[in-house]
Structure 1
Amino acid sequence: MKKVIFLLTFVFWTVLTQGQSSEVYSTKKGAVNGYDVMAYFTESKPLIGTTQFSTIWKDATWYFVSKENLTAFITDPEKYAPQFGGYCAYGTSQGHKVPTDPEAWTIVDGKLYLNYNKDVKMKWNKNQKELIDQANAIWPKIKDALE
């Protein structure tokens, strides 16, 4: 009986601590692994943000390299936050919430998209329009699902 209680307790604790129902892909380093999402637009490259310039939005901490980037993000986070909460755009188009590599990114029609890695980004690049349409249709159904 003790083993059954231990097992149930373990399963319950695992469920509570493992799965996160987050609309934003975030790690211990912050949203988008601590990268400044504004830098993709302003510098055309990923840059790691600092704790000096940070904000909380959608239950995630976002870091920036400058006060200007932080202010621009706070003014219009929906404009600059990565699509699909920073989860892999290709993965979202396939119905999955998948982590991303901040180095595997694209801006399409003024929107930031991230991918799992550079190989997946190559697949993504081949058919972006269709995959964006697919991901846009699927995202509302999976955005609150456990990762």
Structure 2
Amino acid sequence: MTAQRRDWCEFGRGIALIWLISSLCTPIWAGTNERVVTDRYTGLAIGGFDPVAYFTESNALAGLPDYELTEDGAVWRFRNEGNRAEFAKHPEVYGPQFGGYDPVDMARGVTIAGNPRFWLVAGQRLYLFGREDTRAAFAAAPDKFLPVARKQWPILQETLAR
């Protein structure tokens, strides 16, 4: 192998390493240009977690491929047929508020995709958070963040893909 080719291969490996590190730092499921947080490769909403299970099981549980429903261009997964039926009847109740974006960050005027593992049910609604610290801040004072987030949501929706 010539010196020039060896240098080019080392450069290529460096670029591949930078790409790998950056992709590991960015959650794959966080499609932050969507109105509902979806996996950009599979179309799964909220990482394939069952949105009804947050209410019925008080836990973040992965949905199953056998129980899927497409709503607003996103594929939602559920643990069982009953959860899928409940969501189909009331997606506005069981779906995460603000499309699954972090309400604390939304109150700051930015859309940060929520992580389905950082969640909270408040006022009979599901909220997802990008970080544990924003979930803790919201849990301590939801009335501080919700009015501002609700005001920001229509504005921020315009910046997201349709």
The TM-score, its normalising length taken from structure 1, stands at 0.81
Aligned residues: 129
Question: What amino acid does structure 2 have at the position aligned with 1:24?
Answer: V
Aligned twin of 1:26: 38
Judge conservation of contact 1:89–1:135 (CA < 8 Å) in 2.
Answer: yes
Percent of counterpart pairs with the same letter?
29
Question: What amino acid does structure 2 have at the position aligned with 1:108?
Answer: A
**Structure ranking higher on relative contact order (CA contacts 8 Å, 6+ apart):** 1
Gaps of 5+ in 2: 1-30
Between structure 1 and structure 2, the one with the greater Rg is 2
* Cα distance between partner residues in 1 of 2:71 and 2:61: 19
Question: What amino acid does structure 2 have at the position aligned with 1:35?
Answer: F
Gaps of 5+ in 1: 1-18
1:66-118: CA deviation from partner (whole Å, max 9, x where unpaired): 00000000011111101000111111111111112112111111011110021
The TM-score, its normalising length taken from structure 2, stands at 0.74
Task: Select the residue among 106, 110, 114 that pairs with 1:92.
Answer: 106
Aligned twin of 1:104: 118
1:101-139: CA deviation from partner (whole Å, max 9, x where unpaired): 112111111011110021221122222112011100100
Q: Secondary structure of the residue that 1:26 maps to in structure 2? A: coil
Stretches of 4+ aligned residues off by more than 6 angstroms: none
Aligned twin of 1:42: 56
Question: What amino acid does structure 1 have at the position aligned with 2:54?
Answer: Y
Task: Select the residue among 45, 59, 67 that pairs with 2:81.
Answer: 67
What's the CA shift for 1:22? 2.0
